[in-house]
Structure 1
Amino acid sequence: MNFGRILVLSLNVFREVVRDRILYIIGFYALIVVASMRLLPEFAAATEDKMLPDFALAFMSGLGVIVAIFIGTSLVNKEIEKRTILMLIAKPISRSEFIAGKFLGLSAVLTVLVLAMTAIMLGCLQIAKVSYSVQAITIALIFLLLQLCLIAAVAITLGVFTSSLLATALTFGIYLMGSITQDLLKLGNISRNPVIERITQAIYLILPDLSRLDFKNEAVYGLQALPSSMTLVANAGYGIFYSVMLLSLAILLISKREF
């Protein structure tokens, strides 16, 4: 792989997405969080110090997932549908560089989006005089970014061999199922039914366990709620490995396609 060509591709993706959509999303996030800062005390004044960061982090996660899915599924698919991929791969750009560039560009977009929304959230917490743990929130945001990058890898992989609409629906389904895989595994164990246990175990092994990258609740309740450093490292490694595996699959699939 030539990292110079990958960097050029990723910069093109970053410029295109930032120019078209990201500023509106950041503005929308700021509007909703500022409104919640005003409205939440009316409903739960006693728990405002927990509800405001909890809502801000959850809303940040939701917007990030939407961006990762809708942009990720179209990044490769629109190049295929418009036949512009023919011009790209006709140049000295390999298909693996093409996938890597698209993924890194979208990851850069997600990073900027999370950083901008984090600045807005922390500003609102300061104005509302809500106490929070900087370290716990930082850890939660790092893992949120890993989760979004993993979802982006899923979206790009599905976008290689399906239509944008189907890839979007499938990625949303994987996101929803991946968020509850541990619960499904526990449900299978409780059922005492060998068939159900095997099905839930297969789902757990195949789908990404997104709960391993979700520390929003821990960020709200501080450092004492966080797992050990070894668990954090293991979970981060899991997210990175799963993303690399998906991108490798996307490269394999696009290498088999004839354009």
Structure 2
Amino acid sequence: MNLSLNLSLSLGRVWAIATNVFRETVREQVLYLSLLYIAIVVSAMLLLPEFSYDSSAKMIVDVGIAAIEVVSLIVAVLVGTNLINKEIDKRTIFILIAKPMHRAEFVLGKHLGLTAVVGALVSIMTVIFVILMAIKQIPIPIPAILTANFFIFWQIMLLGAIAIFFGSFTGSLIASLLTLGAYLIGNFSRDLLLLGEISKNPSLQAVTRTFYMILPDLSRANLKNDAVYNILPSIMDMFNNGVYILSYALLTLAVTIFIFARRQF
């Protein structure tokens, strides 16, 4: 009975932190970022036909999906890296950790709240995208687009964990730069592995394999180009890629909790 009660209270504290993050971030960020997304897609709809009339429809769809990823990445970088540092700067961290709250609950609540914000933002931008494509009368494979956008959300969920990880022991600016670096390197980690295989150098191959094992392979979540042409991997491949991203996010959060639990305030 006590174990059940403690678990319930633990989940309640995680939920309370997540709810607070969601309310604050939605109020401050989502509206403006949705307007930014509309501006990007509308600009593409107006300008791209001037450069390439024949393929402008595909280019507009490409821009629309890519913009969802970029805008969501902005949230992960700017909000995620500041979630812990903001509490430290405002001195509210002392109140939070003084309560009967485990630091693991604090970290998990922050990530859950950030993930909910990203999920809401990706959903809103997806609806906007479909509406704008309908207005422009551009045919799109909606199931494939929805699948690609889900994997964008899943990728940003992982990057949110990485952002909180860097933010747990560095300043917000450095954490933002490191998170952007992780995003860029993660999208090319598979190419790095292939480069090592092409070199035929055993030492270089060992180095590139090690880096590939350590770095996230974000190309697993990149289905944007495939979705435009309504060509997606098999269900099993997508399932395996989704499990890989989730596992990497959970491992990152575990390391974050380990580091944050040892910080002195």
TM bracket (short chain): over 0.9
Aligned to 1:99: 107
* Partner Cα distance (1:254, 1:83) in 2: 16
Residue 110 in structure 1 maps to residue 118 in structure 2: yes
Cα displacement string for residues 168-195 of structure 1 (whole angstroms, at most 9, x for unaligned residues): 1111111100000111111111111222
* Partner Cα distance (1:97, 1:21) in 2: 24
* Partner Cα distance (2:140, 2:207) in 1: 41
- The 3-state SS of whatever aligns with 1:205 is helix
* Partner Cα distance (1:95, 1:257) in 2: 10
- The 3-state SS of whatever aligns with 1:179 is helix
- Equivalent pair of 1:37/1:124 in contact (CA under 8 Å): no
Cα displacement string for residues 175-218 of structure 1 (whole angstroms, at most 9, x for unaligned residues): 10000011111111111122221221111110100000110011
Aligned to 2:91: 83
Long gaps (5+) in structure 1: none
| 1:151 corresponds to which of 153, 156, 159 | 159
* Partner Cα distance (1:91, 1:256) in 2: 17
Aligned to 1:227: 233
- The 3-state SS of whatever aligns with 1:256 is coil
Cα drift, residue 111 of structure 1: 0.8
AA of the residue aligned to 1:75: L
1:1-259 maps to which residues of 2 (within 5 A)? 2-222=10-230, 225-259=231-265
- Aligned residues: percent identity? 45
Q: May I ask how many residue pairs the two structures share in their alignment? A: 257
Q: Which TM-score applies when normalising by structure 1?
A: 0.96
AA of the residue aligned to 2:157: C
AA of the residue aligned to 2:43: A
- The 3-state SS of whatever aligns with 1:252 is helix
Q: Which TM-score applies when normalising by structure 2?
A: 0.94
Cα drift, residue 42 of structure 1: 1.5
* Partner Cα distance (1:196, 1:169) in 2: 27
Q: Please report the RMSD computed on the Cα atoms of aligned residues, expressed in angstroms.
A: 1.1
Cα displacement string for residues 112-148 of structure 1 (whole angstroms, at most 9, x for unaligned residues): 1111111111111111111111111111011110000
Long gaps (5+) in structure 2: 1-6
- Equivalent pair of 1:157/1:249 in contact (CA under 8 Å): yes
